[in-house]
Structure 1
Amino acid sequence: MSLAPKAAGPVVVLAVTWNSAALLPDFLAALPQGMAGVDYRLVVADNDSADDTVAVLRALAPDATVVQTGRNAGYAAGINAALAAAARWESGVRAAVVCNPDTRMRPGCGRTLLDALGEELPDGSRVGISVPVLYEADGATVSRTLRREPTVLRALAEAVIGNRRAGRFPALGELVTDPAAYTAATRADWATGALMALSAEVMAACGPWDEFYFLYSEETEFCLRARDRGFATRLAPAAAAVHEGGQSRVSPRLWTLLVLNRVRLHRRRHGAAAAAAFWAAVLLRETSRSVIGKAPSRAALRALVSPSRLRERPGPAPSAPRSATS
C-alpha cells in the first residue's frame, strides 16, 4: 500500500492545561523517550490556570512554547491556539501529537503513531488520525477508547442493555469492547482524544477544531469530520501510553456536559428530526440510571428536559478525563 508524502518541518507535541501543575512533571518526564527519534517541539496552551502550571512549564520545559489563552477557553480552543502558534514557524509542521497532560507516553509511542499516518486503505481513504493503546492508571488494564459513530439505534440499545453489553455487537454499540480490537490496527469512527497523532493533510483538510464543544464531543466531531473528508482514525497497537485520568469518577456537572454535547453533535450532523429520536434514546438511558440512584444521570436528565440547556453553547467546566463512558 502506498504512503502519503510526509510534510516538511518538525512535529508539534501539543497539550492543553488548566490547573495542571501536579500532572506536568510526569508528563514532561515521559516525553523524551515517548518521542524518541522524532524532531519535535512542545507547545502548551494554558487556559488561565490559577495554580503554578505556567511556572512549572517554564522550569521543567524551558524550550517549550507556552500560549496563554487568558481564559478558560475549552479543550478545542486550546488545541487551536497551540496549532496557531505552531503555524507561525517558518517550516510549518509535519504532524501534531495532541496530548492530555495526564497521559504518560511509553517509549517509542510518538514515532509509532507518526509512522502509522498516511497509509492508504482499501477504500481509498488514508490514515489521518492514529491513536495508541491507552492503559489505565495501573499500567496494565487496557482502556476501551475506540468508538463507532453515534446512531439512534446504538443510543437506544445502550439505554436498554448498557454500553458494554451493546458494544459486543457493532450495530448496537458505540463502544468497541472486543479485546482483539486493541491488539490490531483497528479502524474506528472516532477515538477518545487523550492522545492522538494528526497528519498535516488531515489538519489542512479539516481546519480548526470546533470550539462549540467546550469539553466532550470535540474529538468525536473532528474524527467524524475527518472521515467525511476521506481520512480514517486507526489504532496503532504497538504505540502505548498510560492515561492517569482515564477512569476518574465523573461529576454530575461533567456528565451533564458529556450527555448534552452528544445530543448537540447529533443534531448538528443529522438535523432536527434525527436528533429528536437520538434525544429520546439518551433520555431513556438517563432516566433508567436515575431510577437506580445515579446522581450524574439525575443531573443530566434535568438538563435534557430543559430546552434552554440544549440550545445554549457549552460553557466552562472543571477539567475532566477524556474517556468518560460510564
Structure 2
Amino acid sequence: MNVPFSSPSSLVVSVISHGHGPCVQALLEDLARFSAATVRRVVLTQNLHEAPPKAPAAGWPFILQVVKNERPAGFGANHNRALTSATEDFVCVLNPDVGLGGHDPFAALTQTAALQGAGCSYPVQLDEHGRVQDSEREVPSPLALLRRRLLGRSETRVDWVNAACLVLPGAVWRDVGGFDERYFMYCEDVDFCLRLRLRGLRLVKAPVQIIHAGQRASGRRLNHLAWHVRSLWLLWRSPVYRQAQHLLTVTPATKGTIGAP
C-alpha cells in the first residue's frame, strides 16, 4: 500500500492542539524523521495554554511556527488563520493525534492532489490495531443517519472524507476559501468536501496509510454533542447542502473507487 514517491513541491502543514502536547510532540518527531524532504513548514496552533514542543538537538528540519490563542477558536477558524497567507504549492490539514506509521505519506499525497481535477487527496486511515477506519462517508442526511445509527446499515457512497488528514493544492484552498467558520466543530469537513465537489473537483484517495487513533467526543461529552447537533442543523439548512443533493444523486461516488467524483 505504501508506494515510494518523489516530492519536488513544497507543503505547509497546519496542526491544532487542544492540550494534545504529547501527541503533538510525537507527530512533530514523526514529521522530522520521515517527512523532512516533503514538509517545508508546520504551523502549530495551541488552542489552549500548554508548553511548546521540545525541538531535537539538531533543530527541526522544517520551519515550525507556534501560534498561541488567547481564546479558543473553532476547528475551521484555526486552520483558516494558519493557512491564510500560505505560499506553498500544497497545504495540509492534519490532526494532532495522527501517526505516520514509519513512512512519509506526504509525497504520495501531494502527487495525488496534483492530479488533474483533484480537489484534495486523503490517505487510508487505520486505528492503532491496523483496522481501516470509516473516514469515507455518505453525506449525513437525516435518512442516512437513521440507516447508520438505528438500522446499523453500512454506507456505500463516498460523499465526503474526514479532515484528519487532507492535502490540497494551494490554489484550490484559496479558491474554496478554506473552511466555513460558522461550523465551530463538526460538519466543517462535510461542507468543505461538498463545496469542492460542487466546483467539479474530486476527492482522491492516495495509496498510503496513516494511523489515526482519534475518538469521537460527541458521544461522550454533552458540549460536543451539542456542537454536533448544531452543526448538523446548520448543514441541513445551508445552500451547499441543498445544491449538493442533485450532485450526489446524479454522480454518486462508491466506496473503494479511487478518485471517484
TM-score scaled by length of structure 1: 0.64
Q: CA deviation at 1:152?
A: 4.2
Q: Is the 8 A contact 2:49 2:68 kept in 1?
A: no
Q: Equivalent residues in 2 for 1:160-309 (5 A)?
A: 160-162=150-152, 165-167=153-155, 170=156, 188-236=158-206, 238-246=207-215, 250-269=220-239, 270=241
Counterpart position of 1:95:
90
SS at match of 2:172: helix
Q: Equivalent residues in 2 for 1:51-90 (5 A)?
A: 51-52=50-51, 55-56=52-53, 61=60, 63-84=63-84, 86-87=85-86
Aligned counterpart for 1:115 among listed residues 111, 115, 135 = 111
Unpaired segments ≥5 residues, structure 2: 1-7, 246-261
Matched pairs, number: 230
Q: CA deviation at 1:209?
A: 1.3
Counterpart position of 2:134:
144
- Matched residue type, 1:14: S
Instruction: Name the CA distance, whole Å, in 1 between partners of 2:99 and 2:175.
Output: 29
1:64 and 1:157, CA in 2 relative to 1: closer, same or farther beyond 3 A?
same
SS at match of 1:142: coil
Unpaired segments ≥5 residues, structure 1: 1-7, 121-125, 171-175, 177-187, 275-326
Instruction: Name the CA distance, whole Å, in 2 between partners of 1:212 and 1:58.
Output: 35
Q: CA deviation at 1:51?
A: 2.6
Instruction: Name the CA distance, whole Å, in 2 between partners of 1:209 and 1:67.
Output: 19
1:57 and 1:70, CA in 2 relative to 1: closer, same or farther beyond 3 A?
farther
Q: Is the 8 A contact 1:36 1:111 kept in 2?
A: no
CA-atom RMSD, angstroms?
2.5
Q: Is the 8 A contact 1:24 1:57 kept in 2?
A: no
1:130 aligns with 2:133: no
Instruction: Name the CA distance, whole Å, in 1 between partners of 2:138 and 2:98.
Output: 23
Q: Which has the higher contact order (CA 8 A, sep 6+)?
A: 2
More helix by share: 1
Choose 1 or 2 for highest CA Rg: 1
